[in-house]
Amino acid sequence: METTKFLLDEKALPESWYNLIPDLPFQLEPPLNPATHEPVGPEAFAAIFPEAIIRQEVTGEPHVPIPEEVREIYSLWRPTPLLRARRLERFLDTPAHIYYKYEGGSPTGSHKPNTAVPQAYYNREEGVRRLTTETGAGQWGSSLAFACGVMGLECTVYMVRVSYDQKPYRRIMMQTYGAEVHASPTDLTQAGRNILEEHPDSPGSLGIAISEAVEDAVGNDDAKYSLGSVLNHVLLHQTVIGQEALQQMEMAGEYPDIVVGCVGGGSNFAGISFPFIRENLKNAKDTRILAVEPASCPTLTKGRYTYDFGDTAGTTPLMKMYTLGHSFVPAGIHAGGLRYHGDSPVISALVHEGLIEARAYAQNPTFEAGVLFARTEGIVPAPEVAHAIKAVLDLAQEAKESGEQNVILFNLCGHGHFDLAAYEQYLAGNLVDIEHSEEEIERAVARIPG
Ligand SMILES: Cc1ncc(COP(=O)(O)O)c(C=O)c1O
């Protein structure tokens, strides 16, 4: 029988995270103070993050050791399996070899605990009692709730209203881990009240929920804020995924021609791809790296590469990134984790420099891809991941047409067990493909400061 799963022993769990930044062939532009437009130092983050996290945010070290306690908790679900999608390949009748790294077997069903656990760990080490955060689909909120639970911290989650209504079981999961969950925008923060005054029926957005969570942390001495994507330290923690995948591809006796991941703020994509980008830069490999996003929130494909706020209320430093404008509220698609106006500055720079590619898909074709994957490989993917799967199907079709035996690797970063209401709507033919018009995007982009 041919091998389907490539499994690593627990001893193969990486001992350090990989930091791509010192290996980049260009300089990243620094975050700026919005008032002075001068570069901000690490101290700008002191009110919201613990020192260890701030050091990781700016470190120039290529390898950052993973604390033993974090590795021990990782071992509850890591190393995660790499699978060859043989049944999908046969269905597609493609010469391409399709591999996927499956992160859905973590306690909360996605890649998010890879960073939630170390973030909760460093906060506990520095005496923080409570963490605040935002969540879209609820994958991140439930992961931080889990991590706070194991580290003995309290957790307050601002959950984007549209997802709060669409995914009640995610909320219950967070509450089961002991977290307090609010539908954002709330009337508990000034940022939330401002939005509600103007838009009482606001569906919320990640940008708004971030503003609320940051305001809560800044206003309370015993609390800090925790972010589930975008920033360097979050991407750093996720690189356990790609480091394991490198070892597993070697076990499979192949090397990927193409690495694919979906992108919200960029953390799972960075996790799978950064170790392979390192191989491109350092070891003369030539893997194509493809980021996939929703057509209704086309940050990398239609956004502007400029300085913008990370949140809607404009409380964060300005970051150089592809952005649709911090006031842009993306349509309420079911891939809630991809509804972010901006993107990681590192991933934005990689796109801008032409080291990686990006493409966007509307929601119906992604659900079609998700259903096909479920019917061939058995896993019902999270709607976010279905974007990556749609791209993989297209790449496999291209391989069929060209006859090339491409090796494709993608990150199956979460299962969709809590997203079944979305699948129900898709199966009933009730999902609409919402694309913002060019004018709407132009208007939002025009509101970007400076
Ligand atoms: C399953 C899943 N995939 C992808 C994402 C997008 O986030 P990121 O781009 O940081 O991986 C999320 C975010 O919530 C998610 O839950």
CA angle 370, 376, 379 (to 5 degrees): 55
Q: Give residue 302's pLDDT band: very low, low, confident or very high (50, 70, 90).
A: very high
Query: Candidates 106, 110, 297: which one to mutate for ligand 1, based on the most atoms within 8 Å of Cβ?
Result: 110
Ligand 1 centre distance from Cα of residue 2 (Å): 32
418 CB under 6 A from ligand 1? no
Average pLDDT over residues 110-133: 98
Query: What amino acid occupies position 201?
Result: D
The whole-number average pLDDT for the span 26-52 is: 93
Cβ neighbours around 348 below 10 Å, total: 26
- Among the residue ranges 97-106, 117-126, 132-141, the one predicted with the least confidence is 132-141
Provide the residue type at 428 as one letter.
Answer: A
Mutate to test the pocket of ligand 1, among 229, 297, 344 (most ligand atoms within 8 A of CB): 229
Longest C-alpha distance within the chain, in Å?
64
Ligand 1 centroid–CA 260 distance in Å is 14
- Is the CB–ligand 1 distance for residue 362 below 6 Å? no
pLDDT of amino acid 330: 83
Asked if 20 and 267 touch (Cβ cutoff 8 Å), the reply is: no
CB of 310 within 6 A of ligand 1: the answer is: no
Ligand 1 atom index nearest CA of 268: 11
Tokens standing for residue 334: 């079911």
User: Using one digit for the tens of pLDDT, what is the confidence trace for 398-432?
Assistant: 999 999 999 999 999 999 999 999 999 999 999 99
**Which residues have CB under 8 Å from 42's CB, separation 6+?**
54, 55, 57, 58
Distance CA 330, CA 84 (A): 34
Q: Are 239 and 233 in contact (CB under 8 A)?
A: no
Ligand 1 contacts CB of residue 137 (under 6 A): yes
pLDDT tier, 450 (very low <50, low <70, confident <90, very high otherwise): low
Q: Which residue minimizes the CA distance to atom 14 of ligand 1?
A: 337
Which tokens belong to 265? 């703020």
The residue nearest atom 1 of ligand 1, judged by CA position, is 414
229 lines ligand 1 (CB under 6 A): yes
Mean pLDDT of the chain: 95
